[in-house]
Structure 1
Amino acid sequence: MSWCWTPSVCAHPGMILSRAQYGQISRYLERLRPNRQGLKLLMEQFPSQSQSTLLSIFSLEYQKRMKRTHARHHTTEACETYYQRYLSGVMNNAAAPVLFELANEVDLAPSLMARIVLEKFLQEHEQAIPSKPVINGMLRDPSQIPDRVLANQVYQCTVNDSCYGPLVDCIKHAIGQEHEILLREKLQRKRLSFLDEDQLRAKGYDKTPDIILEVPIAVEGHVIHWIESKASFGDEYSHQCYLQDQFWSYWNRFGPGLVIYWCGFIEELDCHRDRGIILKDCFPEDIVTLHCTMANIDLGKDR
């Protein structure tokens, strides 16, 4: 998914899919390239699905594919082959998108191809293995690359990459921040008292959810002490990782909580409600506050 195609957070809400529905989309994605044409085909194939849901699944599945094939692309032989093909290609036509087309040919994310070739170039010209900060800095700002042809090739890769690279990382971060702002605004409209992540860190907490409610609420009969915002689709792999790395630790420290997957999630993953973690694809409107509960108790007394 090219994140610059992502719609406004309010325009296209996510959707809850069954595991079977997700599997159908996932299988179809295996035959697509991670570009605008591939995304267009995906949306034509599944017109009833939310755009934000398909965009997020598009990105998630391609990232899984890159992880599965990472070792094949990063052998010494493969890296040398890619570098030599780059040199040969720009020698024939320096203006052609050599690196980008090579990445598409071998089914590697363009930004990852740019990283491989940039590392090989720097090793050859500086006789040393470049550090990660140096590589990352040049990928973010190709004008730092001491070769104008390579700088242009790297730039073409990073701006046209759908799922990886500094531009995608920047837009992902911005979208995540946008959803966190949306969440805080909704809590404020409900006049709920809460502490956000920055306030919690200022108090000395090191690993926290996005929101801690100072007064718990109830959602669909479940007490909620904290809320985590995820500007993505909740698939099996990412959700299990989040459970292990984040959600259960939040549960241990702060009690039961709510996770909002704004781009939707697989329905069967919402199976821990009785243990204290519930999933939603939007901010719940039917919340019960302590204020409402106390008001009902007072009304009962008056009767």
Structure 2
Amino acid sequence: MQGEEFTAAAVGVAEKADTEKKQKNQKEKTAPLPHASVVAPATPAVVAEVSPSPAVVQTKEPVPLKNPKVERITMTLQEIASLQKTLPSEREIASLITKLRQKSFENAHTLFDLYRNYGNPYLDENFLTPGVLACCEAQKPAEGIHIVRDMLNQGRNVDESTLRTLFDACDQASAAVEAIELWELMVAAGMKVEKADLNRFLDICYRQEYVDGAVKVLKELRLVRSISVHTYMHWLLRASIVWRSDAFFDILMEMRLSGVEPEISSLTSLESGRKDRALTVMEGVRAVGLDPCFSMSSVFSSMQSSVYQNGPNYLALSKKDIKAAKAKFGDLTPINLDWPVTPIPQVLETQAAGLILQQETFRRLKRTQVNHIDGLLQMLPITANMTLNLRKQLLRMSLLVNTHRVRRDKKKITEEYDSGRSLIELSNVHNYPPVSLMRVILRNKGKSQLEIKNALSNPMDRLSKRDQRELRRATEYDSIHKSDPFIGSPTYNADSLERAIEHFLKAKGIRLKTQEELCADQITKHGRRVISPDILLLDPVVINGVPIRWIDAKNYYGAHIVSKRLISTQLANYVKEWGPGAIVFGMGYSDMFSLPGVICLDTTPFPKTRKETAKVRVKSFLQSCRNVFRWKRHLGSDLTQQYPGINDDAPKDKEHRRNPQYRTEAPGLNQVKMLARQTVRLVRAGAQRRTVSSLVNKESHVAADQKLFTTVKRPTYIKRESDKPLLAIMLGGTALGFLQIIRGEVCMATGTGKKE
């Protein structure tokens, strides 16, 4: 009932409002118009009888347009036309330009351009062609091409001989860009480009490494003759160096159309050992989501190994190399060692890289993002930490590649930063880490490297308020400056990985030298550090059927799609000096990672628990003590290659090294002697600092009949009879130290303490 009453009331209100509105409209209609008394009397009868007459529209005459800008342009053109009449005739101008060219080509060409552009727009080929030929004689093909283009646009004829002369000028000047422009003008002029011309175009592009022009020439040259695979490989290398993925794809397509495309190992297939064509591999990488620029180097190295049977991805060691390496062992019995490895399939590496780099950015990942990646990779053999390390390598590779471009555009970047744009915004635009961009900006503002280092380490005192705020935000954003959060704690760091390899090998009874020992020996013998891997094996060792002489530790993931140029030179020097070796990756490696003369290993056989680690260390120590008393001949650590700057001033030491019995000395005893000598030097140096007059550090104060206890590049001290008891004391202390170490290792292995 209440609803019906409400509806009835609403209807009544609406009807009342409509009635009031109608009355108001009627009053407005009957009301007199303004100024109606002037026109006619305001009587309703007259208004009803008189019919309204049609309105008359008055036409306006057009007003002439008076624009001062148009008048100014008209007057200027009239002045130009009047001035053109005062110029000399075409023949006189031509003779004047000819005389002027004998003195200065630049002045003559300036007059020539001004006259043909502003002096006489009706010039024919007889006047313009000599200008083109003059540019060719002056080795200025760009100016001649500009004249020819204007002639063709104006409908002038350009004969073939002029174009040929201009082509010769481009060839002599190695002007690749101008040559490709001339090719387009030849086609526009109706000239037939033959096979010899295309070969010349390609040769000019080769001299200037012009990738875009070479791709265009290769597309046309393929239709008239067969192209060697080596030609394509050269331009693929150039495209990969300058990171031109579009040109890389075009050249791969041309290789497929020419029928010379090689088959390489797939980066995305689940089948182990599958091979696909190179273009298919690149398309698969792009389908995964990874930036193709990161995979160009890997695809090219795989193609290099397929075409030339060499390159960084070729077979690490052939049967011939293995046989030659074993021959260097001589009559020494090698130690065979089985080292199980678990490489990561390449398809997982590629997909993981595509997962974390779908949008290339230097933003530091958050903990939630890392946990999400870890959840996606939970059922796969590749871990989240491997993926994060792979991301860091890819971003560092991008940093190295883009450094030259960013330094070239440093003025533009500084202007953008001063205009108000943030470092993070500039980082996304220029594909460069924001903290590194701050270094570039400060460098462009005139600061030295030391000033930049101090400013970044102490920004409160050396940077402005805005720079401090931007640097603080960039530091939290930059994943290069501050690493992404890991899942758990890393298993190894750089030092612990080297120690783990050392203990693992010593526990097997293998004699070796660490990097510190090699550096000390080389400084003593040659005056400086020359070449030193992390571990040099003194005993002949065969790991997984491959003779190994040295081992280098890398505490990161060995990625296949990352360029190997950063470590290939270092490892190649080791191979040249000592022969084949091994590289141990602390976070695993791809099954397609390969370098010539190097085998890849991981940490699979290393102990996983603390108890197993203690047992390995006890075995390592016991074997080290045993090796001290081993007099068996080993391979030694002498250098065989020539290195610049080696100081070999001690003839007695050189004769001692030539002695065949030199390598038969006990290495442990030599280490003890070296440790004792270094301790003596430290004691004597401390005594000298306490101004003890009996020890002098100047050769002018040393008696001629006294023996000198000297080393290369070290202070000279007097050797006295009191050194013998001091040396005996040091040897005794060293022996006691060995006993304490043995006791500590045994207690650690058995789990007993001092109280027990």
State the TM-score, normalized to the length of structure 2: 0.30
**What's the offset of the Cα at 1:133?**
2.8
Q: Partners in 1 of 2:463 and 2:551 — Cα distance?
A: 47
Q: Secondary structure at the match of 1:229?
A: strand
| 2:478 is aligned with 1:161 | yes
1:281 partner amino acid: D
1:73-126 per-position Cα deviation (integer Å, ceiling 9, x unaligned): 44121232023325xxxxxxxxxxx54465357643132133234335xx2xxx
- Give the direction of change, closer, same or farther, for the CA distance of 1:159–1:118 in structure 2 (3 Å limit): farther
- 8 Å contact 1:196–1:211 — kept in the other structure? yes
| 2:464 is aligned with 1:147 | yes
- 8 Å contact 1:83–1:117 — kept in the other structure? no
* Aligned match of 1:20: 347
Q: Partners in 2 of 1:202 and 1:35 — Cα distance?
A: 41
Instruction: Output aligned runs, 1:45-60, within 5 Å.
Output: 45-47=376-378, 48=380, 49-60=382-393
**What's the offset of the Cα at 1:250?**
0.5
| 2:362 is aligned with 1:36 | no
- 8 Å contact 1:43–1:51 — kept in the other structure? yes
Q: Secondary structure at the match of 2:358?
A: coil
Q: Partners in 2 of 1:137 and 1:192 — Cα distance?
A: 47
Q: Secondary structure at the match of 1:268?
A: coil
- 8 Å contact 1:99–1:157 — kept in the other structure? yes
Flag the structure with higher strand content.
1
1:230-277 per-position Cα deviation (integer Å, ceiling 9, x unaligned): 01122234434322x1112111211221101112222122475xxx42
Q: Secondary structure at the match of 1:224?
A: strand
| 2:82 is aligned with 1:82 | no
| 2:530 is aligned with 1:206 | yes
Instruction: Output aligned runs, 1:40-119, within 5 Å.
Output: 40-47=371-378, 48=380, 49-71=382-404, 73-74=406-407, 75=409, 76-86=411-421, 98-100=422-424, 103=427, 107-119=431-443
Larger radius of gyration: 2
- 8 Å contact 2:345–2:590 — kept in the other structure? yes
Q: Partners in 2 of 1:144 and 1:176 — Cα distance?
A: 34
1:206-250 per-position Cα deviation (integer Å, ceiling 9, x unaligned): 12211111223221122221110001122234434322x111211
Q: Partners in 2 of 1:144 and 1:260 — Cα distance?
A: 44
- 8 Å contact 2:515–2:532 — kept in the other structure? yes
Q: Partners in 2 of 1:149 and 1:177 — Cα distance?
A: 40
| 2:455 is aligned with 1:138 | yes
**What's the offset of the Cα at 1:151?**
3.3
2:399 partner amino acid: M
- Give the direction of change, closer, same or farther, for the CA distance of 1:101–1:241 in structure 2 (3 Å limit): closer
Q: Partners in 1 of 2:385 and 2:503 — Cα distance?
A: 21
Structure 1 residue runs without a partner (length 5+): 1-13, 87-97, 124-128, 292-303
* Aligned match of 2:587: 263
- 8 Å contact 1:145–1:151 — kept in the other structure? no
Q: Which has the bigger relative contact order, CA under 8 A and spacing at least 6?
A: 1
Q: Secondary structure at the match of 1:17?
A: coil
- What is the aligned residue count? 248
**Identical-residue share of aligned pairs (%):** 19
Give RMSD over aligned pairs: 3.4
Q: Partners in 1 of 2:563 and 2:370 — Cα distance?
A: 21
1:241 partner amino acid: L
Q: Secondary structure at the match of 2:533?
A: coil
| 2:526 is aligned with 1:197 | no
